[in-house]
Structures are given as structure tokens and as C-alpha cells.
């Protein structure tokens, strides 16, 4: 695989070539001086010194040329052992580089400390406060939402949305709290005009259906009771019930007050015994798990997605303006509330530390796989383009240092003898 990124520039490659020619020229000059010194039949002391310096410099230059070449290729194309180190050991180098990055760059404590020091939320707020940046991220957000909504519309909402809505509603509907609220509401209802209306409606129903009530009572009466007496008794009972209803309609009557207290006690008993909460929980479960509710949620979500999709497609400019405004307001809020920004930074760092535990092996595998798949020739050329200029100075320094050391050794041995 070809390496990503921008290839080395022509100027950089030309500079390396020029420096390589300089190093090679120095080596050639030393060789010429060395072999040329043998043309003098009776060399003097100074010529022997020059010869020794040229010889040592030539050896040093050749040795360093060999070392530099052996990093990237076989010198002179000869398959000498332990040469072409980089292409031959690319896989091992990939593993070592991945381990190095993991050991020194992906350490959670070190990375999170550096990230916290950078204040990423502050940097984001500053970046979003620039109008052109807010517009750019708004346009990307709009396009991303179009893709997501279109994908959801094609594949359907699925059971996940229903489960999410059910979970949200379950967390919102607490039977104990709702039971207390319903109990309070029922007790307030007892003392309101609503109870008066209920009693009045019951009285009206009884009054309008007197004959039906009498017929029902006669049908269920004993056979040995005369019908005339039976009818009179039922009328008396109905009239008594109507009298009771009239008294209940009067809020100030003792019967009504006793009735209200009885209803309040009943509501309290239902609440304290947990029966109201049980009824609420059972009803909640039946409703939230019913096919009708699932169908309703599907229709609501599909309708919402359709409207969002239509809005993003038909009025994209307005959507971008709205998103840009939202991002700008977010940036202003973060900059105006340092405590909120600090909390977000803390959350971000904590999340990063948690993710790194699972992310580090994946990063190592990614780095290793990518480096292993790079083209060896391309890898060598890229690295040589980055460090080749300085490597030529190694050749030059080797030749110069060799010549200097050769001159010292020649001088010492001459004086010694």
C-alpha cells in the first residue's frame, strides 16, 4: 500500500542529492590523494602524513557510507547479511513502533493530564465562536443528520426506539409518587364541587329511572309478597334513597360530612396499603407493553423523522443557520460559565480515560497493520527523504574524523620510532 500524505517535495530530494554528491566527492578526493601520493618516488614526511590522513579518511568515509546504505538497501546491490535493515525488518519495526507509542503516548494518566491541561472545551468554545467555523460545522451537522435520518427511514425505526421510549416513560412514571398525587387529588375532589356534581348526577339518574328501579325490585322480590305491598315498599325505599341523596347534596349536613370523611379514609387506606400504586404499576405495564402503544410510538417517530427529513432537504439554508446559531450560543455559554466548562472537561477526561483501556490494543493493532502494509520502497524513500540530508553529514564527518585520527596516529607513530 502506498504511504498516505504528501510525497517529499522535489526541492528536498534535490537537496539530499546535492549533499550526497558532496559526501561522495569528499570520499573521491581522499581516494585520489591517497593513490596519487604513490606517484612520488621518495615521499617526504609531510606527504606520508597526507597519505595517512587520506587513507584513514577514506576508510572512515567508506565505513559510514556502508552504514548509511545498509539502513535502507543492500550496498552495491550485494546481499550482505544484516543490510537493508529497514525493509527486511519492516514487520518487526511496525510492532516495535506500536509498542513504543502505546508505552509512551497512550498511558492514560499521562494522556489525560495533557488533555486536561489543553482545556479542550475552552478550545472548542473559542473555535465555535468564530462565525465561519460555526457555519462550517453546522453544514456538516446538517449533512450528517440527512444521512442518519435517511438511513433510519429506509430501515425502519425498529424495536430499539420502542424500548427507549418505554424506558424513559418508566423512569418518569413512579407509582409511589403518582399514588400520593392521585390520593391528594381524590381528597381534594371530595371537598370540591365535583363531588356535588357526582351526587347530583346519581340523584338525577335514580329519579329518572324510578319505574325501572321498582320493576327490578319486584322481579327479585319473594313470590309470596303481594305485588301491591311490594310496590309500595319499593317506592318507600326509593324515596328514602332520594332523601339520603338530597341530604348528601347539602355540604353542611352531618351525613355529607360523614360521607366525605369516609371517602377520605378510604383513599388514605388505598394509598397506604399500596393498592393505588399497584393499580398504577399494573396499568403502566399493560399500557407500555401493549401493541397499540408500540404502534403509536412507531407512528410518532416516523412522523417526526419525516418532518426532520423534509426540513433538512427543503430548507437546508435555514437549517444551517439554526445549527450555526445553536453552536454559537453553545460557545457563548461555555465561555460565560467557566464552572460548566470545567465540569465538561472533567467529564471528557474521565470518558477518555475509560475509553483508553479498551482503545489501546486496537490502536496498537491499527499502527502495526498499517505500517506492515506500506510499500517497502515507498517507506524507504519517505524516511530517507526526511533524514537523508543529515545522514550525508555522517559520511562527511566520518571522512573528516577519520582523516584527523589518521593524521594523529601517523604523527604519534613517527615520533615514537
pLDDT band at 231 (very low <50, low <70, confident <90, very high): low
Whether 50 contacts 406, CB under 8 Å: no
Q: What is the pLDDT of residue 21?
A: 93
Q: Which of 58 and 388 is assigned the larger pLDDT?
A: 58
pLDDT value at residue 219: 66
Nearest to 351 by CA among 171, 127, 120: 120
Express each pLDDT in 266-324 by its tens digit: 888 888 888 888 887 888 778 777 888 778 877 887 888 888 888 888 888 888 889 99
Contacts of 19 (CB under 8 A, 6+ apart): 388, 389, 392, 393
Q: Which residue in 60, 17, 14, 53 sits closest to 33, CA to CA?
A: 53
Query: What integer pLDDT is reported at residue 66 of this predicted model?
Result: 92
Segment 387-400 shows an average pLDDT of: 89
Model confidence at 417, in pLDDT bands (50, 70, 90)?
low
280 or 344: which carries more pLDDT confidence?
344
**Closest by alpha carbon to 335, among 127, 115, 112?**
127
Euclidean distance between CA atoms 238 and 210, whole angstroms: 7
Q: With cut-offs at 50, 70 and 90, classify the pLDDT of residue 6.
A: low
Distances (CA, A) of 330 to 124, 129, 343: 10, 9, 15
- Mark out the alpha helices in 337-375 (DSSP H runs): 338-373
220 pLDDT band, cuts 50/70/90, is low
- pLDDT at position 156 is 66
The pLDDT value recorded for residue 54 is 92
pLDDT of 1 higher than 60:
no
Least confident of 73-82, 227-236, 239-248: 227-236
Q: With bands split at pLDDT 50, 70 and 90, how would you rate the model's confidence at 2?
A: low
Backbone angles phi, psi at 110, to 5 degrees: -70, -45
Q: How confident is the model at residue 31 (pLDDT cuts 50, 70, 90)?
A: very high
Q: Which of these, 273, 103, 99, 98, lies nearest to 176 by C-alpha position?
A: 273
248-284 exposure pattern, b = at least 16 Cβ within 10 A, e = fewer: bbeeeeeebeebbeebeeebeebbeeeebbeebbeeb
What pLDDT, on a 0 to 100 scale, did the predictor assign at position 221? 59
The model's confidence at residue 59, banded by pLDDT at 50, 70 and 90, is very high
| pTM of the full structure | 0.51
Q: Mean pLDDT score of the chain, rounded to an integer?
A: 83
Which residues in 288-325 are b (16+ Cβ under 10 Å) and which e? beeeebbeebbeebeeebeebbebbeeeeeebbeebbe
Averaged pLDDT for residues 142-170:
76
In the structure, what pLDDT confidence band is assigned to residue 62 with cuts at 50, 70 and 90? very high
Under a CB-based contact definition with an 8 Å cutoff, are residues 324 and 135 in contact? yes
Amino acid at each position: 500500500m502506498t504511504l498516505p500524505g504528501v510525497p517529499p517535495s522535489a526541492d528536498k530530494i534535490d537537496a539530499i542529492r546535492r549533499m550526497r554528491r558532496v559526501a561522495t566527492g569528499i570520499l573521491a578526493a581522499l581516494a585520489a590523494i591517497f593513490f596519487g601520493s604513490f606517484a612520488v618516488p621518495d615521499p617526504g614526511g609531510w606527504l606520508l602524513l597526507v597519505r595517512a590522513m587520506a587513507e584513514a579518511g577514506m576508510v572512515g568515509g567508506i565505513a559510514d557510507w556502508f552504514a548509511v546504505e545498509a539502513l535502507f538497501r543492500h550496498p552495491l546491490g550485494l546481499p550482505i547479511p544484516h543490510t537493508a535493515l529497514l525493509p527486511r525488518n519492516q514487520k518487526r519495526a511496525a510492532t516495535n513502533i506500536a509498542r513504543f507509542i502505546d508505552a509512551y503516548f497512550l498511558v492514560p494518566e499521562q494522556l489525560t493530564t495533557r488533555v486536561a491541561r489543553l482545556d479542550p472545551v475552552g478550545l472548542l468554545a473559542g473555535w465555535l465562536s468564530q462565525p465561519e467555523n460555526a457555519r462550517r460545522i453546522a453544514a456538516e451537522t446538517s449533512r450528517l443528520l440527512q444521512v442518519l435520518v435517511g438511513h433510519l427511514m429506509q430501515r425502519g425505526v425498529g424495536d430499539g426506539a420502542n424500548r427507549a421510549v418505554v424506558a424513559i416513560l418508566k423512569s418518569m412514571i413512579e407509582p409511589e409518587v403518582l399514588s400520593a398525587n392521585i390520593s391528594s387529588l381524590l381528597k381534594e375532589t371530595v371537598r370540591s364541587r365535583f363531588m356535588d356534581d357526582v351526587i347530583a348526577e346519581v340523584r338525577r339518574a335514580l329519579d329518572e329511572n324510578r319505574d325501572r328501579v321498582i320493576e327490578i325490585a319486584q322481579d327479585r322480590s319473594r313470590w309470596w309478597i303481594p305485588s301491591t305491598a311490594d310496590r309500595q315498599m319499593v317506592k318507600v325505599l326509593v324515596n328514602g334513597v332520594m332523601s339520603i341523596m338530597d341530604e348528601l347534596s347539602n355540604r353542611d349536613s352531618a351525613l355529607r360530612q360523614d360521607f366525605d370523611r369516609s371517602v377520605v379514609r378510604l383513599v388514605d387506606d388505598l394509598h397506604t396499603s399500596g393498592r393505588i400504586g399497584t393499580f398504577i404499576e399494573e396499568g403502566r405495564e399493560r399500557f407500555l407493553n401493549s401493541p397499540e402503544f408500540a404502534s403509536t410510538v412507531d407512528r410518532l417517530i416516523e412522523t417526526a423523522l419525516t418532518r426532520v427529513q423534509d426540513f433538512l432537504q427543503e430548507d437546508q439554508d435555514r437549517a444551517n443557520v439554526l445549527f450555526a446559531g445553536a453552536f454559537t450560543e453553545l460557545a457563548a455559554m461555555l465561555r460565560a460559565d467557566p464552572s460548566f466548562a470545567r465540569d465538561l472537561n472533567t467529564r471528557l477526561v474521565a470518558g477518555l480515560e475509560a475509553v483508553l483501556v479498551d482503545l489501546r490494543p486496537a490502536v496498537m493493532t491499527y499502527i502495526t497493520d498499517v505500517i506492515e502494509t506500506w510499500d517497502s520502497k515507498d517507506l524507504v524513500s519517505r524516511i530517507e527523504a526526511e533524514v537523508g540530508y543529515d545522514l550525508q553529514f555522517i559520511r562527511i564527518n566520518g571522512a573528516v574524523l577519520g582523516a584527523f585520527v589518521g593524521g594523529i596516529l601517523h604523527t604519534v607513530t613517527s615520533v615514537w620510532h
